[in-house]
Amino acid sequence: MKFSSRIRTAVFALLGLAGIGFATVSPAQADTCGIRFRVLKAGWFIGGSGGNGTMTCGGRSYPITIGGISAGLVFGGSETWFRGTVSNIYRPSDVAGVYAAAGAGGAVGGGVQAIVLRNEKGATLHLTGSQVGLQINADLSGMAISLR
């Protein structure tokens, strides 16, 4: 009888471990999507920015809008074309939210940028961009992305 009790315990333990293994595999795994957008930025101590673009996810395109503010040392204006990825999203609407950053930079004529941002839902933007304009900044800024 002890032998059958041990087998029964082992079988239940294996089923329990198998259940735990299945529970960790979620049918809605986090996704990584492509994103491209243009931002116009201008300011004199306090700045504003706005733009639009597209997120491509699962073979579908989603139009997005960008809006933001910055405060600190902000002078001039620029246009930046960003492209990259948005990761750790479970549905396209997870890209929507507020992204905050502290940074410094500048452009005289042209320049490049690279930045990593995260929103309150955990979506992470990995972006590179080419910038045109005359701008100098050392500021705190916030950017909001929304789906149109």
Give all domains of the chain, ordered by start, each with its CATH number: 31-147 (2.40.128)
Query: Could you read off the pLDDT tens digit of each residue along the chain, which spans 148 residues?
Result: 454 555 544 444 444 444 433 333 343 577 899 999 999 999 988 899 999 999 999 999 999 999 999 888 888 999 999 999 999 999 999 999 999 877 777 777 887 788 889 999 999 999 999 889 988 877 778 899 999 8
Between CA 124 and CA 117 the distance in angstroms is: 6
Give the pLDDT confidence score for residue 4 in this predicted structure: 55
Answer yes or no: pTM beyond 0.85.
Answer: no
Q: What's the half-sphere exposure (Cβ side, CA atoms, 13 Å) at 125?
A: 26
DSSP tag of 26:
-
Give the pLDDT confidence score for residue 48 in this predicted structure: 92
Residue type present at position 71: A
CB 27: neighbour CB atoms within 10 A?
4
Give the pLDDT confidence score for residue 102 in this predicted structure: 72
Give the pLDDT confidence score for residue 5 in this predicted structure: 53
Cβ 83 vs Cβ 128: under 8 Å = yes
Give the pLDDT confidence score for residue 105 in this predicted structure: 72
Between CA 53 and CA 67 the distance in angstroms is: 12
Between CA 37 and CA 64 the distance in angstroms is: 8
